[in-house]
Structure 1
């Protein structure tokens, strides 16, 4: 098997020598041991199999990550994988804080990478929660009752935009904050926009 082609954009990104560039370079070398296509997406090294994103390497303030798009499908007997956020359905990450950590878990990371590649080649899918499975906050139900046009506009939004609103509104701890968030985004909803647009 020939080595995967290195993407010059990833080279340029790593040449900038940021806080985690050594760790990300070491992770890159691990991933490039396998038959993957190296890309540069969302300003980060990204790896594909059959045109599908499977792994992305990224820096955070206190760590960098070896992130698996379908990480929930991976067998992880050593519990190395973490869910980054409570609403993350599919992706899982390994948080990296040193080159020593990479060296001591190299074979474990190789196993996870190999599984991710095989899962993609086998066409395995993650069963995602549908929008209808998310709870609609009581405050939004009340607003729908008061304003049927708002309900109609909300139902016309794409499932992703609906989920975004449901998660954002529900995240507020107090009812008055949930109402304030709904009020703020009524114009966006009526225009068919997501809450971050």
Structure 2
């Protein structure tokens, strides 16, 4: 990960701070994730303009220093990030306070309840493609509602029409095969 190399010294410091907490280290999604009784608590990594800690159930933390943010506003439900841009911003005592609180959250079993599934209507672009191709329509209707929703959201996300069209071209063969958009990531 190129950004982890950029922030090597900073990430090494975060790792040494986290190691002082009563957590187990595991590798998940190609990154170090620290767990408590098998539950994900905290991880860290480097990005283009910052390096960060993230708390998997950070939404339940009090955030007494006002440092936590949702990584993707409107999408991120539970995870919260603490972003840094220099070594000087890393305060071991404060980080360990947050980690201790995050462990307590896991002990209490606090979780955000999943939202009830809501069926979605295809965007005009997808609806037009489905109407124009009976095989595509039949294949799409055979997909589970969740897989249909993945495709609909994927096509609705971009702002530029040419991006939407290129995404549609990419997913048509996947739909015809009966595959979900994210099947390769699922076991």
TM-score range, shorter chain: 0.7 to 0.9
User: 2:57 maps to what in 1?
Assistant: 70
TM-score using structure 1 length: 0.73
Distance 2:38 2:84 in 1: 26
Post-superposition CA distance 1:162-181 (Å, at most 9, x none): 45423321112255653553
Distance 1:172 1:100, change over 3 A: same
Superposition deviation, residue 193 in structure 1: 2.5
User: 1:101 maps to what in 2?
Assistant: 89
User: 1:168 maps to what in 2?
Assistant: 154
Does structure 2 conserve the Cα–Cα contact (< 8 Å) formed by 1:72 and 1:92? yes
Post-superposition CA distance 1:43-100 (Å, at most 9, x none): 3221011112221111112211101112222222332112222422221111121111
User: Does 2:140 correspond to 1:151?
Assistant: yes
Distance 1:124 1:33 in 2: 23
Superposition deviation, residue 189 in structure 1: 1.9
User: 2:123 maps to what in 1?
Assistant: 137
User: 1:178 maps to what in 2?
Assistant: 164
Q: Which runs of 5+ in 1 are unaligned?
A: 1-12
Q: How many residues align?
A: 177
User: 1:21 maps to what in 2?
Assistant: 8
Corresponding residue SS for 1:132 = coil
Extract structure 1 runs of 4+ deviating beyond 4 A.
133-136, 141-147, 174-177
Q: Which runs of 5+ in 2 are unaligned?
A: none
User: 1:35 maps to what in 2?
Assistant: 22
TM-score using structure 2 length: 0.77
Distance 2:48 2:162 in 1: 33
Corresponding residue SS for 2:82 = strand
Post-superposition CA distance 1:28-51 (Å, at most 9, x none): 222222211012233322101111
Does structure 2 conserve the Cα–Cα contact (< 8 Å) formed by 1:131 and 1:162? no
Distance 1:135 1:191, change over 3 A: same
Corresponding residue SS for 2:34 = strand
Distance 1:177 1:60 in 2: 25
